[in-house]
Chain A
Amino acid sequence: MNETPGADSFAELKRREQIVNPHSEVVHFPASEGLPLDSGGLLAPFSVAYQTYGTLNADKSNLILVCHALTGDQHAASLHPVTGKPGWWETMIGPGKPIDTDRYFVLCPNVIGGCMGSTGPSSLNPETGRTYGPEFPVITLRDMVRAQARLLDHLGIDQVLSVIGGSMGGMQVLEWAATYKERVFSAIPIACAARHSSQNIAFHEVGRQAVMADPDWCDGRYLEEGKSPRKGLAVARMAAHITYLSDQALHTKFGRNLQDRDQVTFGFDADFQVESYLRHQGMSFVDRFDANSYLYITRAMDYFDIAADHGGVLANAYAGTKTRFCLISFTSDWLFPTEESREVVHALNAVAANVSFVEIASNKGHDAFLLHEPELFDTVRGFLNAAARWRGIDGTSAST
């Protein structure tokens, strides 16, 4: 970075360092190996940063590809280099855990468009010599998946034992299974849908408008201006965070409890605990995430509609598939309700695909996929055991 970032925090400086020099493996694809994009352009050169856990077996058949959600990254099961917090899926990935790293080789790439080392809007645009900013091409989830496929090519992996992810990660799983049928032995899309609903697009638009309304966004050129649209991005995150929870979860956690006071102040301070909580969520988010990445990735999700890419019929996307599917939804998830998963199940039934579908009773809302949900763990473990067995990988992962 040549510019002096107008960051309010040391954490944000650390985060910007990750764009150029990620705390993980990274593959740089030269300009001659650019990535064709759905929008018609070419992303060249491009980089994909990724983390791995466990060991690849001799015939390279034990790889599990983990796709992260909108604001996730490659640090699924290791300390986050910016926040110092445990990985976002430590509950799921590790020795003896459902995605058992004693048995499987786990690969988690950062999506393109992201801000943790894979090429995104805060990367350097080789044509102009400055950061892409708003000149970054609009990407799609299929572009992200295509970049991941290039990473697998680079690593010499033909087929993954499983591809798994929740939310936008689950959408990538569905895209993987539609676009690269032969390369996906099994697929676990969690808390997701085959298209982004109108309501979800609406929420994203609110978030983007909040970012763009912040004068420090500088029409997307905040890095060069030495600024950062922290307030706008924080508001976007606050609004989005509500959609990740459930009414019941919020009520149980906060009710109408007041924050460090006995009565309301008749002002606009954070009187209520829930307000204080959301403000904290917003402010800590901006330390670890790039505002333009937020715009580009939410846009990619909005454009996601697998059926539309296949003549309007979702089942067409999966005709002839041999992939073993396991869909998982949560009862209190109103962002990606069970009905959306069921639609995918019906489409898969229509092509007589091998599909399991589990709806898990939880009051934690959409975020349940990231939390301690024993039934989720049992499902993933059991499904992966069976997939490994049918794939001819020895041993089983016992419940711990």
Chain B
Amino acid sequence: MDAPVNPMGLRSADASRVDLLLIAEMVSPGSRVLDIGCGDGALLRILAEKHGVDGRGIELSQAGVNQCVAQGLSVIQGDADTDLEYYPDGAFDYAILSQTIQATRNPRLVLQQLLRIGKRAVVSFPNFGHWRVRTQLMFGGRMPRTDNLPETWYSTPNIHFCTIKDFLALCDEMGANVERAAALNALGTKLRSMPLSSQNFFGEQAIFLLSR
């Protein structure tokens, strides 16, 4: 189970590791975690092995679920858009949505559910404000396709792209409190001490820790 299966085709293997390690860092040891869109369970494994967290997962693809459970992870088949309503308020310390929000039908509702069932929410997503995306659209005049986002417009599951600024605006609108935020460049390096507009330009991925 070394090569992560990536049903959404979003991340290169290396960048995904950094993204997941950063998320795992935000989670305190021994806490209750729900990973929504857990894929092959890479994050849940990191959480279990390095942080002693007995996490739970929801995954849309049945193949991903079966793979996770066969590895001893607690995962169910489910849809972020429809299945979060079954969980009670505050059931988890962290509700994690990693590289999935852009593929949901109703990102705002999903975010609301995250903040309802988790005391905190961790959300990571590909930043559509990244300079490569901007330049492709500006000079190529076509929907951007990058190493990070290789799908064509007609085959991508990512139906609700946003930029870091867009996401912050939504958090503001929903009254969600941003506790921590990090942007990663294409190499997976964390962009530090950079103004927001620069992070929105240079960051390929963004990770947010939110609370109600």
Contacts and interface: CB of A to CB of B under 8 A. Distances in A.
A379 interface: yes
11 contacts: A349-B76, A352-B32, A355-B76, A359-B62, A359-B65, A360-B66, A379-B66, A382-B70, A382-B71, A386-B71, A386-B72
A6 B170 CA distance: 79
B72 A383 contact: yes
Contacts of B71: 382, 386
B9 interface: no
Interface residues of A toward B: which range? 20 to 34
A375 B65 CA distance: 11
B72 A389 contact: yes
Between A359, A360, A381, the greatest number of chain B beta carbons within 10 A of the residue's beta carbon is seen for A359
B92 A383 contact: no
Contacts of B54: 354, 390
A256 interface: no
A357 B83 CA distance: 13
Contacts of A349: 76, 83, 86-87
Contacts, number: 69
Given A350-B86, A358-B65, A383-B69, 7 more contacts: A349-B86, A350-B87, A355-B74, A358-B77, A379-B69, A387-B72, A389-B72
A355 B54 CA distance: 11
A358 B88 contact: no
A354 B66 contact: no
B72 A385 contact: yes
Interface string B14-33: 00000000000000000010
B88 A357 contact: no
Contacts of A324: 74
B116 to A, nearest CB: 13
B91 to A, nearest CB: 4
Contacts of A350: 86-88
B70 A381 contact: yes
Contacts of B86: 346, 349-350
A387 B62 CA distance: 22
Interface of B: 32, 54, 56, 62, 65-66, 68-77, 83, 86-88, 91-92
A25 interface: no
Given A346-B86, A354-B74, A356-B74, A326 B69 contact: yes
A375 B63 CA distance: 10
Nearest to A399: B70
Given A352-B92, A354-B54, A378-B70, A359 B87 contact: no
A345 B58 CA distance: 12
Contacts of B74: 324, 354-356, 386
B33 to A, nearest CB: 11
Interface string A138-156: 0000000000000000000
B62 A379 contact: no
A79 interface: no
A351 B89 CA distance: 10
Contact of A355 (B56, B68, B72, B92): B56
A378 B76 contact: no
A239 interface: no
Contacts of A389: 72
Nearest to A361: B62
A398 to B, nearest CB: 12
A336 B72 CA distance: 25
Contacts of A357: 65, 69, 75-77
A355 B58 CA distance: 10
Interface string A318-345: 0000001010000000000000000001
A390 to B, nearest CB: 7
Nearest to B91: A352
Nearest to B87: A349
A382 B76 contact: no
Between A326, A345, A356, A382, the greatest number of chain B beta carbons within 10 A of the residue's beta carbon is seen for A356
Contacts of B65: 356-359
A382 B88 contact: no
A285 B58 CA distance: 42
Nearest to A396: B72
Contacts of A351: 88
A375 B70 CA distance: 8
A378 B70 CA distance: 5
Nearest to A349: B86
Between A357, A375, A385, the greatest number of chain B beta carbons within 10 A of the residue's beta carbon is seen for A357
Contact of A379 (B70, B76, B91, B92): B70
A382 B62 CA distance: 16
A358 B56 contact: no
A358 B66 contact: yes
Contact of A356 (B32, B73, B88, B91): B73
A379 B65 CA distance: 10
Contacts of A355: 56, 74, 76
Between A351, A358, A375, A385, the greatest number of chain B beta carbons within 10 A of the residue's beta carbon is seen for A358
Contacts of A382: 69-72
